[in-house]
Structure 1
Amino acid sequence: MDEAEGFVGLGGTEVIEQERWCEGCGVTLQTEDPEGQGYMPASALKREHMICRRCYRIRHYNELAPVEQDPSATLGLLEQIAQSEALVVQVIDLFDISGSWIPGIHRHIGNNPLLILGNKVDLFPKSIKHQRLKEWVQRAAKDLGVKPVDVVLTSAVKAVRMDTVAEAIEKYREGRDVFVIGTANAGKSTLINRLLKEFGGGEEAVTTSPYPGTTLDAISIPLGDGKHIVDMPGVVRKDRMSEWVDPKELKQITPDGEVKPKVYQLSEGQTLFFGGLTRFDFVEGNRQSFVCYFANALYIHRTKLEKASEVWDRHRGELLSPPKKPESMPKMVRHTFHIKAGKKQDIVISGLGWVSMGSEKAKVDVWAPEDVRVELRSAVI
């Protein structure tokens, strides 16, 4: 797609309001405290593109560097959007739709139009119809009180339908600035970098990593018409499993390719362990199928319900891992669900995955860390 036909060409990164901001994560640069946020050696100030030491290590050494963020401060940054005339692009993680939604988004965007980009469509089985998934996202948005101008399914990592993404942004922005928002790790920065590669100078501008919260402040990238596309820092949601797992163990619970569903025929009184993070008890019901959608690398263990507590206590942190250090996790709490026969439903563990069921009536107990959201929804597949 030529720039004249769609998305206005992207330029290099520029920092907002001040000159000495990290081009990778948006944090204010400083040269005094090597242990503080935004540190870079004074000798690096002469570089054309300035990034902090944390971004440098992420980019060149794949180092995971978590940073404590204040969720209220991040939400406060979104207040400027309602005062602007702009297109708001919300990037959601299709594999964790409810966990990647920004609560109360309608209050933050004012009267500005909202375009939803459903990212990570490549994680779903190829058999799923994209139109059905798009309609599912539209219904979910409506239930949350939001009416987007459009929904586009994409994959920033795999460059799926990036032409369509660029065309939609150009169509709905109508010559205005663009604010790209989303929860931490939904893929905002990866998507912007992909747009830069496809339609700009081909240079990565925004630092990305598997760890939530890599972007620390707003990063502004000029468009060809004097307007900007702004990568806002990800909104932190502490009700997702991904926020509690050690950075070194994130790869085990984060899908990196098409998820292969695992089907278990369970009888009443059987249990599934998803690593050492969640326990799934089939308490009552006829023998039936439970289809599990989790990262392919996550170990799933089946046992009898009567032995479940013993197995959990003995093997959690070893056979049942992650986590390697169970003491670092919040205490486990039980969620009880009554499934109706003949209606396919998903039990979702936010930031981890889901189990699909509904061929038969069932009672299920799900044990998860108390801060992690566990909910029932209509089946997405």
Structure 2
Amino acid sequence: MTESNEEALYCIGCGAQIQTTQPNEAGYTPQAALEKAKETGELYCQRCFRLRHYNEISDVRLTDDDFLALLTQIGEADALIVNVVDIFDFSGSLIPGLHRFVGDNPVLLVGNKVDVLPGSVKRTKVKNWLREQAHAVGLRPIDVLLTSAKSGYELDDLLAAIEKYRNGRDVYVVGVTNVGKSTLINQIIRQTTGTQDLITTSRFPGTTLDKIEIPLDDGHNLIDTPGIIHREQMAYYLGAKDLKLVTPQKSIKPKTYQLNGGQTVFLAGLARFDYEEGPKRSFTFYLDNNLLVHRTKLQNATDFYTRQVGKLLQPPRAKEVAAFPELERIQFTPKEKSDLVFAGLGWVTVPAGAVIAGWAPKGVAVSLRKALI
């Protein structure tokens, strides 16, 4: 925050109190920029400055209470809710209790990062799976779309759907941190404005604390909301360097291993796959291409993990091991060809009848679904 002996300063764009110590929190501006702004009289936080001059929106984290207050406002509004989720981490990218806050407002569910799925994955299957998962937690999306915030994949279809379903209303874009929501909004800004002047001269950003209002042609707004921190995301436990090893940036190249019963495959030090019983079978892993995969014997796996986590098995890095949650085990025996999904990492396609177990940090979901391929 600002120094205690100084008068509190506020961003003239979003109203957040200016602070110079926490880059990921609301109101952050570098000290050098703050000194310059005091001279000009135009004081913007870094987020609003980048938006105003470069059309770039960055994510800002709120406390749980702040975000709940924001969700309550959304439920009281008459608007279309665009909920952005991560295809690789659906459970970790759900906003807890969102279905209770949206009221009668329609929800458009958008699965991000579709561009890194292998070409053999049918998009219709992914959409159907996302819809099923949403229904399971009480969310009833009016439609489900797939996109890529990074590449702009099918952005035109998304924009058309937003225009169709908003029916002349405001649009709230919501999502947890690390799902690519801000990158997606940046794509929308670039595609819909085509010029920086419109952004710079309009009533933009909005004056409501911690929201950014992007003006639409009919006087309504597309409203970016800050991301909530979800503590059941794998990303929550990783630093910026390791996030690059976990979050796929390019199309995934599947890796198939022939495993005998009694073998374990470690996904770096982040998760573990056990083939407990059965004859020699093929298992296909869909993970970031750079993530370390290591095979060993099941009977030695626990001891091996204790000795090598943070060393051979990293991430997590050695200095982060103490804060990394203990892995918890869940056993499955699929009756049909299935995917064992490690939320935030990827999945393993397993044959019917194989006795398997998935291990992940406490709170991070491991689940079974019908195979996408």
TM-score range, shorter chain: 0.7 to 0.9
**What percent of counterpart residues are identical?**
41
Please say if 1:265 is aligned against 2:251.
Answer: no
Please say if 1:375 is aligned against 2:367.
Answer: yes
Please say if 1:275 is aligned against 2:275.
Answer: no
One-letter code of the match for 2:358?
V
| Matching of residues 1-381 of structure 1 within 5 Å | 20-21=10-11, 28-30=16-18, 33-35=19-21, 37=25, 38-40=27-29, 41-44=34-37, 46=40, 50-52=44-46, 69-203=62-196, 217-325=210-318, 326-341=320-335, 343-357=336-350, 359-381=351-373
Distance, in Å, in 2 between the alignment partners of 1:22 and 1:307 is 60
Please name the residue that 2:205 is paired with.
Answer: none
User: 1:295-350: CA deviations, max 9, x gaps?
Assistant: 11110001111232343233221221101135343442432322134x12222222
What's the secondary structure of 1:361's corresponding residue?
A: coil
Distance, in Å, in 2 between the alignment partners of 1:318 and 1:153 is 37
Q: Is the 8 A contact 2:316 2:324 kept in 1?
A: no
Structure 1 stretch 271-280 or stretch 46-55: which is displaced more? Answer: 46-55
Q: Is the 8 A contact 2:268 2:315 kept in 1?
A: yes
Distance, in Å, in 2 between the alignment partners of 1:345 and 1:370 is 23
What's the secondary structure of 1:147's corresponding residue?
A: coil
Select the structure that is richer in helix.
2
CA separation of 1:317/1:159 partners in 2, compared to 1, >3 Å: closer, same or farther? same
User: Aligned-pair RMSD on alpha carbons?
Assistant: 2.9
**Shift in Å at residue 233 of structure 1?**
1.4
CA separation of 1:89/1:22 partners in 2, compared to 1, >3 Å: closer, same or farther? farther
CA separation of 1:294/1:375 partners in 2, compared to 1, >3 Å: closer, same or farther? same
Q: Is the 8 A contact 1:335 1:367 kept in 2?
A: yes
For normalisation by structure 2, the TM-score amounts to 0.82
CA separation of 1:363/1:21 partners in 2, compared to 1, >3 Å: closer, same or farther? farther
What's the secondary structure of 2:356's corresponding residue?
A: strand
Q: Is the 8 A contact 1:22 1:29 kept in 2?
A: no
Aligned length: 341
Distance, in Å, in 1 between the alignment partners of 2:262 and 2:238 is 29
Structure 1 regions of 5+ residues with no counterpart? 1-18, 206-215
What's the secondary structure of 2:92's corresponding residue?
A: coil
One-letter code of the match for 1:50?
Y
Q: Is the 8 A contact 1:75 1:235 kept in 2?
A: no
One-letter code of the match for 2:281?
Q
For normalisation by structure 1, the TM-score amounts to 0.81
**Shift in Å at residue 85 of structure 1?**
0.5
CA separation of 1:34/1:91 partners in 2, compared to 1, >3 Å: closer, same or farther? closer
Structure 2 regions of 5+ residues with no counterpart? 1-8, 200-208
Q: Is the 8 A contact 1:196 1:202 kept in 2?
A: no
Structure 1 stretch 313-322 or stretch 158-167: which is displaced more? Answer: 313-322
One-letter code of the match for 2:20?
P
One-letter code of the match for 1:362?
A
Q: Is the 8 A contact 1:20 1:28 kept in 2?
A: yes
One-letter code of the match for 1:268?
G
**Shift in Å at residue 69 of structure 1?**
4.6
Q: Is the 8 A contact 1:241 1:349 kept in 2?
A: no
What's the secondary structure of 1:237's corresponding residue?
A: coil
**Shift in Å at residue 272 of structure 1?**
0.5
User: 1:261-300: CA deviations, max 9, x gaps?
Assistant: 1111111111111111112222112221222121111100
